[in-house]
Structure 1
Amino acid sequence: MKSTYTKKLIDYICFTKDRVTSNIVNPYEKELDFQSSENSYFILDEEITQFEKFYSGLFNSLQSSLEICAKDRDVFLDYYSDPRLYQILTHNKFDVFRGIFRHDVLEVNGTLKLLEINGGANIGGWELDMLAPMQLEYLRKANLFSQEVISYRSVVASMIDSLIVQMASLDKEKLSGNIGVFITKMDYININKRNFYASFFDDIYRSSAQYKEGQVHLICEEQSLQISEDGALCFDEIPIDALLMMEHNISRELQEKLLVSHLTKKIFCTDTLLNNLVSDKSTMALLHDIRIFDLQPQSIKQWITQNVPWTIRLDRYLNGCFEHKSSIDIIKNQADFVIKKCRSLQGKDVYIGRFMTAEKWQSLILNIDETQDWIVQQYFESDLLPSIDAELEPISVPFVWGVFDFNGQYGGSLIRSFISSQVNDGVINAANGAVVVTVFEELQIDDQLTLIL
């Protein structure tokens, strides 16, 4: 059963022409780099359970695949071309669950299918925390909902709660409770930006029910970080237990030290070289690579087959390294496939065959130079989302879930969709004109929704 609140809110908006989100005066508007939908979506506990089962299946599959891969140096270097990272991972126990992620997921006939994994603190989407509470208050003041029947799960608050749990599990004699937030130097020297980050993160941290001690420290220069021989991290001699990386422009040497400290549980770091490896789209090809897949237990094979669209690196496809799909012709069957660059963001370098002419599709495949940096992936059409168009009329559109995963726990979600049935290249991304839909949770209490129509 799914919540009926979404349809009832759509009925209200279409009937009254009330532009719910546009009517809100948002002091944080400049911080939002996406267009927010007038509509919202509501989920029940059973959908949250479905997400967490998906996380479990995904990371069991990733953990097993990477452990198998780590036993075969040639396969690892074939995918990641990083001998030093291979050495670190083979000399330290690693756990891919320990991280901060947003999974972009399609819902296809009710089944969740992975599009990509985004890892680290600066994954985008958490900015809804600056809008959703005002949307919620507007809906309540408009007498749309009886009191306490819906709630918003703060992504940042969920992330901070997860950090506290991870800090408590560190292998250290004494915990400081201090969290470092590494931001760009430009943001640091901007007084308004610096004050915003400081108050935003510190207020949420101190208001957590799990907070004991410590504070948030803003960092903008890697020279101010010191890592001791045993892996402990300090910021200008202040001990740090967890590090959020909003800025990734740091030296390789520091990245390697942070990874080792993270793996040995001296710190919890949200952005490591392991995160980068998991977030590389070629990892979805690794899951399907027969050198790895054939060694998996049947339960993991079934999960990958059901939840990860068949994926192969483009160079391996062109070389015929796909025994399980040997009859596939991606040129003749372009409507069934997508080509993506392994490392790109915001929907860039994503080409969906059915939205291209045959000539452009074939030209794309034949003119990609670094074919090892691209993947071919099976295309699926998503289920349709009930929504509204620009004129506040009802419409059903394809959509993508962005579900936040903090160490296997649901940490909130968002939806991206278009406000028109006419799409150009089929890539559903906020940078490509999609709107972001706030997701609220329906509380399991007797109080029912009342609409004034």
Structure 2
Amino acid sequence: MNNSPISAHNAFYSKKYQQLLESLRNNDMMRNEALQTGSIDNFMSDYQYPYGCWPIILSKPRVAEFTRFNKMLPVLMHKVIRSYFKDDPQGFADYLNTSSFLYHMMAKLDVDSRDLFLRHDMVFSNNEFKLLEVNAGSNIGGWQMDWVIPALQKIWQGYPETQSLNLRTRNVVREIFEKACQSMMRLPRSGVVGNLLLITSTVPNYQRMEQDLTELYEQIKPSALAKGKLIWINNTNDIEVRADGLAYYKDQVMDAVFLNSDMARDIPQHKIMNLAKSYVAGNLVFPDSPFHNILGNKHLLALLHLAAQQAKDPANNKISLTDEELQLIERHIPWTVKLNTPVVTWQGESHALPELLKSHQSQFVIKKSLSMQGLDVLIGKTTSKALWHKAIDEHCHDNDWLVQQYCEPDPVTTCHPDYGLAESSLIWGVFDIGGDYSGAFIRSVLADTQQRVINSANGAVEFLVVEEGEKTHKLVI
């Protein structure tokens, strides 16, 4: 694969990425670099997923596109929810497959985009990024690559070809902690000291992870929160919200609570709601509240297209979208609809949805909204006709299944740790911390792989995404 041509298409991401690939092609030693376990002196020393040494490099225009999108999307989602379901809590609950109680709470609350932790999973298709789903909350994943950066930079600094590239990296967890501290300092109550409670499951290298993240929190805390502590727990037995509206852990007031764990779904619902009420009262930073996590509801992508369709209807008086908002939906969000929608408009024509899916199988994906790690996803292009038809017939009345237009990932050359330079299909995990672009990582499979659900849990290789730095002659950390 190392003798395969390097497509000029790679230069779309940046000229420096094209330059890096040419260097890798011409230098066997660079191409064969691999991180040794002993070179990673932190909890990532036994990370379960494979990752590559050589990053994807973004140009400033690509970063600017992500930045604009990150600033617009959360605001647009909240606008559409409120406009489309105005005075209709049951319609809200039915469409988004959630509780009408959440509607009543959201009607009284403006969620500050500066408090949001999001990761947008995207593909580039025909040089346009397409949003596949949004992950919301402190458990968005992908930040683990932060702790590989020092070892990767040591490799990059070992070659003149990459020393001259001047690569800028971002530390996602640092940005999360910094934005959390800013959110705590915006709390309207007195007595905020910076106590952040992190609820997490016991993962491999748990104690080392706790040590590494605690050290980072101590480094970045502003002087106003000097007394604050990062407190780790793996159950919620000693958490309570008392009559004063404050969240306590063992008699100590918490200023922020993160549910950084898959166990969040097993936490008693009354505890989640009590923490959410503390957030609403202005007593707590809680990025995993239902008000924040609603942005990770995949049905919102279908709702955005429904709203766009209505906004363009001259007879509509329900919702109004700007040209810029309509453009964002049409350019960056693949056509999405709920699977239980009987009749849809596809490419200007009306169709019964089950028949459309069966006659145009290769153009669609069907997926379950409440699902993770690529489970409950069927890609028409790589699914047998029998299984595809069976899934449609079984789920066409299910309120939690969606249809999404399939977007073929553009082939991109990466340096695979086992195969060297190879054409690959990528899923981009783009971080939106506090309403801004905050870095990204890649999950990659070989372009000719038949298993098309690209996910780390399915064997994809992870790559760091870096940026072109300012015009100096040093690597920017």
* TM-score of the alignment, normalized to the shorter chain, above 0.5: yes
SS at match of 2:328: helix
Instruction: Name stretches of at least 5 consecutive residues in structure 1 with no aligned partner.
Output: none
* Selected match of 2:322 from 276, 298, 305: 298
Which residue number in structure 2 is paired with residue 76 of structure 1? 92
Counting only pairs closer than 5 Å after superposition, residues 50-449 of structure 1 correspond to structure 2 as: 50-68=65-83, 69=85, 71-79=87-95, 80-95=97-112, 98-146=115-163, 149-184=166-201, 186=202, 193=206, 195-208=207-220, 210=222, 212=224, 213=226, 214-247=228-261, 248=264, 249-290=266-307, 293-294=310-311, 295-299=319-323, 300-316=325-341, 319-320=342-343, 326-327=350-351, 329-368=356-395, 371-389=398-416, 392-418=419-445, 420-447=446-473
1:64/1:296 contact within 8 Å kept:
no
Whole-Å separation in 1 of the counterparts to 2:44 and 2:221: 29
Percent of aligned pairs sharing the same letter:
24
The structural deviation recorded for 1:44 is 3.1
Closer, same or farther in 2 for the Cα pair 1:432/1:221, shift >3 Å? closer
Closer, same or farther in 2 for the Cα pair 1:446/1:433, shift >3 Å? same
SS at match of 1:371: coil
Whole-Å separation in 2 of the counterparts to 1:258 and 1:52: 31
Whole-Å separation in 2 of the counterparts to 1:280 and 1:183: 22
Whole-Å separation in 2 of the counterparts to 1:261 and 1:148: 48
Which residue number in structure 2 is paired with residue 6 of structure 1? 17
TM norm structure 2: 0.85
Closer, same or farther in 2 for the Cα pair 1:391/1:205, shift >3 Å? closer
Which residue number in structure 1 is paired with residue 315 of structure 2? none
The structural deviation recorded for 1:386 is 2.0
SS at match of 2:295: helix
**Amino acid in structure 1 at the alignment position of 2:99:** D
**CA RMSD for the aligned pairs?**
2.6
* Aligned residues between the structures: 441
The structural deviation recorded for 1:313 is 0.8
The structural deviation recorded for 1:24 is 5.6
2:37/2:45 contact within 8 Å kept:
no
Q: Given the alignment of the two structures, is residue 40 of structure 1 paired with residue 40 of structure 2, yes or no? A: no
* Selected match of 1:20 from 26, 29, 33: 33
TM norm structure 1: 0.89
Whole-Å separation in 1 of the counterparts to 2:142 and 2:290: 22
Whole-Å separation in 1 of the counterparts to 2:37 and 2:464: 14
SS at match of 2:93: helix
Whole-Å separation in 1 of the counterparts to 2:277 and 2:221: 30
Closer, same or farther in 2 for the Cα pair 1:236/1:243, shift >3 Å? same
1:88/1:260 contact within 8 Å kept:
no
The structural deviation recorded for 1:31 is 4.6
1:21/1:36 contact within 8 Å kept:
no
Closer, same or farther in 2 for the Cα pair 1:325/1:150, shift >3 Å? same
